[in-house]
Structure 1
Amino acid sequence: MSGGRVAIMDRRSHRRSYSDLRHLIQRSLEGCSGFGSRIELDGKLDRMAEGLWHENYWFRVRARPDAYILRLLDESEDWQQGPEPRDRLIREAETLQVLEKCDFGHPTPNFICFVRYDESEPIGMIETGLPGYSLYGHEDRSTLRLVSRVAANVHRLTAQEFPHLPSSSRTEHVKSQLAEFEEDLYVEFPLAREVRDWIAAQVPADDHSCVLHGDLLPQNLLCDWPTAGVEDPPVGVVDWEMARIGDPAYDLAIVSRGNRKVCGVKDGLKILVEEYLESGGQPVSLTEVRVHELILILRWLEEAWHEYQKPVTRGHGPDFYEDKLQSLFRRAAG
């Protein structure tokens, strides 16, 4: 190492050594309020499941009861480059600090500090770990019930306490997403134009916009079964980087994704909406959630269309998403 800089290998690779990561953590925490000038990690770093945008490592600090998580921006792919992931990281840190002061009702990570290579912009952050087990893979109605309950509670947060989040009315939320699609998409796929026109006729009214989590998939909900009865376990909520203020129907669509079965449950979207409303959620209709499902699939169709114009391709082709769009549109337009 030279000049005090952490000698982590190529930022765009996954070849960061554990020794360098430990040094990065220690240096970051030593400059953090509430931590001493000498930080000793207790045990090894455990690499956790990764999302699209982060590498995640679980660790403990000697003489401290909490577990911690190092979340580093993953810049290994071209599509992960640019300022947006870092901007979201900074916003997420502020969101966690606001949540710590809110009467939210669900455990959330506490923001500890940003992580930097030197004096440059943050390349990650450290937060506290939460107890519990991810709901990923738990496919039954109880999972839908827990997701719905969390969504309703998120949507009751006071939006004025989150001025740093991107914000739009429900109408703007839908219209702005439609405006992002290229006109050529509608030329190449006439079905996409038909779907767009249908969505434009379903745009919700400009009321009941609220705080959204933005990614309420089961893997971002942690149930702490050991500390409570299975009937009503505490549910921690992690991964707030996609949080914004907008249409509550969007949060439900991120969970259902246009699938006939949601969390393994037949007619899952209908049940998801019913459970959400019973939990005191915002007034949302099945059709309003379908609008956001269709926008999601339009986006995947556009991405696949561009991907399959490259010499080497990966993932499903545009035909797959066109068929999915047709199937969902039939159900939505009825």
Structure 2
Amino acid sequence: MDWAKELEQNVTTVEELEEKLMLHFTTEEKEKLNEIIDAYPMSVTRFYLSLIDFKDERDPIRRMCIPSVKETDMNGSLDTSGESDNTVVTGLQHKYRQTALILSTNQCAMYCRHCFRKRLVGQSSAEIIKHMDEIISYINNHKDISNVLISGGDSFLNTNNTIKNYLEKLSAMEQLDFIRFGTRVPITFPMRIYEDNELLKILREYSNKKKIYIVTHYNHPNELTETSKRAINALIDCGIIIKNQTVLLKGVNDDSNILADLINKMTGWGIIPYYIFQCRPVSGVKNQFQLPLMRGYKIVEEAKARLNGHGKCFRYVLSNKNGKVEILGILKDNTMLFKYHESKDEANYGKVFTKPIGKDQCWID
């Protein structure tokens, strides 16, 4: 398939929403939605749209892809994890000693409304590609880097040639134990994978040279479609290990039964639960999707009670400017227990600490 041409059929305007999905917005709603889309573009694949039950205004798939007037609430921050401070080359971040993060593109097959990189959505990726040689040189010259995460945007929105170039250069580095790709394509645009024999050939070839992991982003059981499973199986057949990062989202998966169902089905497919992330306080996201920490912890623990041992291997974390902080438990007097799972300051590695947390508090800095 010509996947780039297929993406030209994405729904990107309020008028297309009304026309293709038979929705109706008031004049005021249209004005607000157009204001939002101008700042944070909407782009939804026809496949992902087909998963929405438009008779249900609270449909979880709809919440994740269709703009809401609530996005005009700009409380929060556009860079909650201090990514700009960790940028060492255009398109390359180095926050943790062993890991290099390549923001290989700003494009996605579908723009999630809860995205924590909303500030970059839809921007041109040409500038990043120009700096590929500098990115590779930096990684090669920092021997402490043992793994690379190629993300975005969505790493699978790169051309096959760009993906091959990254794999060719990175797999030749003896210092790297493995290479990761961050992608939501298996969920939002799975045919990009299973209908592209050239891409699968590239992945199969280089997975024999360096272990490749793919980190996906399933948030709700309704995303675990047979079409998506076909893409996952194609990746597994290439020798790739699949892991998943779920974000805990109000109105999407803030129910222990839904969360447990999601994880049980994923593990049945051969997907390893990696993290459950506390939703970040991003402007336009915070007040629409964030859950209080106390409630989030209880949902996660109740879900764990319905999982087998393999399904419980994930960590519930939040990622702030200091690092990845694991949310360990609730102590007496509304105090919570935390642990640094990753830290920008290596002196904090493994450090356990407590903080008093208010009933409605959703974040710690």
State the TM-score, normalized to the length of structure 2.
0.27
Name the structure with the higher strand share: 2
State the TM-score, normalized to the length of structure 1.
0.28
Query: Radius of gyration: which is bigger?
Result: 1
